[in-house]
Amino acid sequence: MGQFGRSARGILCLASAVLLAGCAAQSAGSDPGYRPLPQGQSCQSIRAELNRMDARGVPSKIEASQSGRKLSASDKADVDRYNNLLGYYLGGRCHV
């Protein structure tokens, strides 16, 4: 898969997360508001780490996890880290 495919997959994962976050906020009845980023992190540093994880194929591990396939401990750690970073990125309103 070329760079375009990885970028498209990363954008698709990000778009899915944004949609899910929007649905969750809608069902809660209100916007959860801005969440501060962790100490020492910035929108740029989080985006850079997400990009590195995209290049390593973590979005495909997320898809595998969501489809019910078993993951190794290191793959599960990658998925958890990616989701955590994405939560910071979206909660910090870095995508706006």
Q: What is the CA radius of gyration of the chain?
A: 14
Using alpha carbons only, give the angle 60, 38, 34 rounded to the nearest 5 degrees.
Answer: 90
Contact 71, 65 (CB under 8 A): yes
pLDDT digits over 19-70, tens only?
A: 555 555 455 556 667 788 889 999 999 999 999 999 999 999 999 999 999 9
pLDDT average, residue stretch 68-93: 94
User: Residue 13 carries which side chain, given as an amino acid letter?
Assistant: C
Say whether pTM exceeds 0.95. no
